[in-house]
Amino acid sequence: MTMTMATPAKKTISFKIEGGHTLSGVVTTNTAKNSAVSLLCASLLNKGTTVLAKMPRIEEVKRILEVLESIGVTATWKENDLTLVRPKKLLFGNLDVAAAMRTRSVIMLIGPLLHELKRFDLPQAGGCRLGSRTVRPHFFALEKLGVTVHTLEQSYRVTSEPPKKNREIILYESGDTVTENALMAAARIEGKTTIKFASANYMVQDLCRFIVALGVRVDGIGTTTLTVYGKKDINTNIRFSPGEDPIESMLFLSIAATTNSSITIQRCPIDFLELELLKLEKMGFRYRILKRYVSENGYTNLADIKTLSSRLVALEEKIDARPFPGLNIDNLPFFVPIAAHAKGQTLIHDWVYENRAIYYLELAKLGADIILADPHRVYINGPTKFKSAEVICPPALRPAAIILIAMLAAPGTSILRNVYSINRGYEDLANRLRKLGAKIRMIRS
């Protein structure tokens, strides 16, 4: 397969924001973007009909769907429910390379595809540009299952052989996507596979429960050791809903804290926000939990959170992230505008990605006093008198979102150019913000 991609000229979408206003009202957390993309990949494990309920209609989902449809999967939307039916034989020669190269999530297709194809080429992953995000942990994990991956100029060449019995995988790093790839690979290999140092994060738990719904036994869900008892063939009609998105809940918590607004955030997956809320509480952030309940999927614990007007102070300790149950790596950036609003100096240590902390410097254009100590650490001095500015969206989802947050807090008119990065992960965000009283509109150019 020749890996080439044409880039058609498309109009870009930007946000025009009149900031400096407090917000009010109610917003509902959608289902998780990271769960959605892994479940789309995992649907290839099932020869029956898969219905994924309450799926977010975001660009990342669209890219994976374009890839799946190009290889013969039939996808039908009914409101936010998505029905997927795969063909008896995947048409892998028709793979939409352009769509595949626009999302890093495509790497998770290796796990399900190796059950269908003994040899195939997969385009190299794209998505957020956050430095040298190595994919070698995926290869190290899969080699224990008889899979060999060679890196070519524009693709990965995957070959597989029958794996050994009583397989044990020790993950090179406790990453979310590498755990998911190993899970999908193990799900249709007969016998027992043990995955150690696994991620226990929300999207991994969603994937585990989906695999269980397919009839595969998975022990240790929510822990760092997963044991999978695979089945060679899976053919069942199921309906499954991913859990709500803690990263989206954190976006709105950050907006509330940075703009000093009182809003109600419904359907927050509280188990994956407890440490973030504790850090915020120690900074002086005030909130109330209005009620607790369980998601329709029967296992995600939810809470409605009402934020209150607060005076924030910097923490003496650095703020950094860890694999779950630590502070979520994707939630760490949302502390940057919060720290800029707080009184005092905050050290944020983003040790995972080389380039992400550099993107934080874009907030200086909006008045933030932010110092880059090294590619992983920034010092932020507050409180900031945010000012309006025109900024081009960085090619990374969370850094782009925190610029939007700062613009909502900045008096005057700001322009955030080319918001594709934000649309990758958040559905209809401008309209949802308008319902909270934000003065934001989309412009096309």
Give the integer Cα–Cα distance in Å for 87 and 69: 10
Residue 163 has pLDDT above 90, yes or no: no
User: Within this chain, do residues 178 and 303 fall inside the same structural domain, yes or no?
Assistant: no
Residue 154 has pLDDT above 90, yes or no: no
Residue 14 has pLDDT above 70, yes or no: yes
- Asked if omega into 269 is within 30° of 0 (cis), the reply is no
The size of the chain, in residues, is 445
Residue 134 — very low, low, confident or very high, per pLDDT cuts 50/70/90? low
Range of weakest confidence among 6-15, 263-272, 336-345 = 6-15
Residue 445 — very low, low, confident or very high, per pLDDT cuts 50/70/90? confident
User: Within this chain, do residues 282 and 413 fall inside the same structural domain, yes or no?
Assistant: yes
User: What's the whole-number mean pLDDT along residues 213-227?
Assistant: 98
Say which CATH number the domain at 304 has. Answer: 3.65.10.10
**How much is the mean pLDDT over the chain?**
93
Give pLDDT tens digits for 332-372. Answer: 999 999 999 999 999 999 998 877 899 999 999 999 999 99
The CA-atom distances, in angstroms, between 151 and each of 123, 135, 158 are 10, 10, 9
Residue 269 has pLDDT above 90, yes or no: yes
User: Within this chain, do residues 156 and 236 fall inside the same structural domain, yes or no?
Assistant: yes
The model's pTM is 0.93
Residue 21 — very low, low, confident or very high, per pLDDT cuts 50/70/90? very high
Give pLDDT tens digits for 51-110. Answer: 999 999 999 999 999 999 999 999 999 999 999 999 999 999 899 998 888 887 889 999
Give the integer Cα–Cα distance in Å for 220 and 297: 19
Give pLDDT tens digits for 358-414. Answer: 999 999 999 999 999 999 999 999 999 999 999 999 988 999 999 999 999 999 999
User: Within this chain, do residues 56 and 109 fall inside the same structural domain, yes or no?
Assistant: yes
Residue 5 has pLDDT above 50, yes or no: no
In the sheet with 155-160, reading across from the earlier edge strand, the strands are 119-123, 155-160, 147-151
User: Within this chain, do residues 94 and 121 fall inside the same structural domain, yes or no?
Assistant: yes
Residues near 115 by beta carbon (within 8 Å), at least 6 away in sequence: 45, 185, 188, 189
Give the integer Cα–Cα distance in Å for 258 and 201: 26
Give the integer Cα–Cα distance in Å for 213 and 126: 30
Asked whether 321 and 199 are in contact (CB, 8 A), the reply is no
In a domain, 6, yes or no: no
Residue 128 — very low, low, confident or very high, per pLDDT cuts 50/70/90? very low
Give the integer Cα–Cα distance in Å for 222 and 272: 11
User: Within this chain, do residues 273 and 420 fall inside the same structural domain, yes or no?
Assistant: yes
Percentage of residues in the chain with pLDDT exceeding 70?
Answer: 96
- Domain boundary at 207, 240, 273, which? 240
- Domain boundary at 210, 240, 270, which? 240
Domain that holds residue 224: 33-240
What is the three-state SS of 296-346?
Answer: CCCCCEEEEEEEECCCCECCCCCEECCCCCCCCCCCHHHHHHHHHHCEEEE
Q: Dihedral of CA 46/51/52/56: which sign?
A: positive
In a domain, 420, yes or no: yes
User: Within this chain, do residues 63 and 161 fall inside the same structural domain, yes or no?
Assistant: yes
Give the integer Cα–Cα distance in Å for 283 and 293: 27
By C-alpha distance, which of 266, 308, 197 is closest to 29? 266
- Domain boundary at 224, 240, 256, which? 240
Residue 155 has pLDDT above 90, yes or no: no
pLDDT at res. 125: 67
Greatest alpha-carbon pair distance for the chain in Å reads 64
pLDDT at res. 357: 92
Number of domains in the chain: 2
